[in-house]
Amino acid sequence: MKIVVWNENRHEKENEVVSSIYPEGIHGAIQGFLEKEGLDVSTATLDEPEHGLTEEVLNHTDVLVWWGHQAHDEVTEEVAERVKERVLEGMGLVVLHSAHFSKVFKKLMGTSCDLKWREADEKERLWVVNPTHPITEGIGEFIELEKEEMYGEHFDIPVPEELLFVSWFEGGEVFRSGATFQRGRGKIFYFRPGHETYPTYYHTDIQRVISNGIHWAAGLATPKPVYGNAQPLEPIAGKTAAGR
């Protein structure tokens, strides 16, 4: 399984707090814990040619992990469409935190993907609402984060096919923080935690959920459907067209 972790990698260059927490970038931190599991992981960032997501790279990617925040508009339409098409073909997509507002996720959801937010040092408790799902395997009743950014409802996404986590924040808001979708042959997992000024991606339960999500989103080795004009099937030997 080939995994690519994509990150716009702008906060790490401009904000000393972020660079002190993630000296190798958010993408580097995620790559690090995934590689400890023996997974084949590479990274790509916004300022690379074609944002590091050439046709060749994407054609050999089983699961793409996406983190973005302040530079969504700098992702070209060509690359966003390229990623969307690969998801429809069967590439898995794990969308983290503020990547809910990325061009790729909005194209796949078909909605604004907007929400309420508040940047404050608030406790977050992510309640597991589907303990039988592979993505929540190994997680208890909830994950507690001492400090995170608040996201609140209404979250303008389609009704999830599976809702896995619901967050509660100290300010009283709740949020659908873990949800799955399928588009074409591709599986998509959105997971909310991960504001850049907090060490969220070092939390072992958060790492476990992301890893579980990657394994869940990996495409199945099933034949690609054939579309278009179809010829009649040959009748079964010994039977007439009427089945007698």
Predicted pLDDT of residue 238: 64
Predicted pLDDT of residue 241: 52
Sheet containing 63-67, strands listed edge to edge, beginning at the edge strand earlier in sequence = 40-45, 2-7, 63-67, 92-96, 186-191, 174-183, 162-169, 116-128, 142-152
Residues whose CB falls within 8 Å of the CB of residue 71, separated by 6 or more in sequence, listed in order: 8, 10, 46
In order of 70, 142, 236, the CA distances from 190 in angstroms are 18, 17, 46
pLDDT in tens, 145-185: 999 999 999 999 999 999 999 999 999 999 999 999 999 99
Predicted pLDDT of residue 223: 78
Residue among 15, 43, 49, 47 nearest 31 (CA): 43
CA distance 44 to 7: 7
Q: Inform me whether the pLDDT recorded for 229 exceeds 70.
A: yes
| Identity of residue 20 | S
CA distance 47 to 19: 17
pLDDT tier for residue 110 given thresholds of 50, 70 and 90: very high
Q: Inform me whether the pLDDT recorded for 64 exceeds 70.
A: yes
How many other C-beta atoms are found inside a 10 Å radius of the C-beta of residue 189? 26
Share of the chain above pLDDT 70, in %: 97
- Domains of the chain, earliest start first: 2-110+177-217 (3.40.50.880)
pLDDT tier for residue 44 given thresholds of 50, 70 and 90: very high
CA distance 188 to 65: 10
How many other C-beta atoms are found inside a 10 Å radius of the C-beta of residue 17? 11
Predicted pLDDT of residue 109: 98
Predicted pLDDT of residue 11: 96
Predicted pLDDT of residue 240: 56
**CA-angle at 198, arms to 193 and 201, nearest 5°:** 55
| Identity of residue 154 | H
pLDDT in tens, 178-223: 999 999 999 999 999 999 999 999 999 999 999 999 999 997 777 7
How many other C-beta atoms are found inside a 10 Å radius of the C-beta of residue 16? 8
Tell me the pTM: 0.93
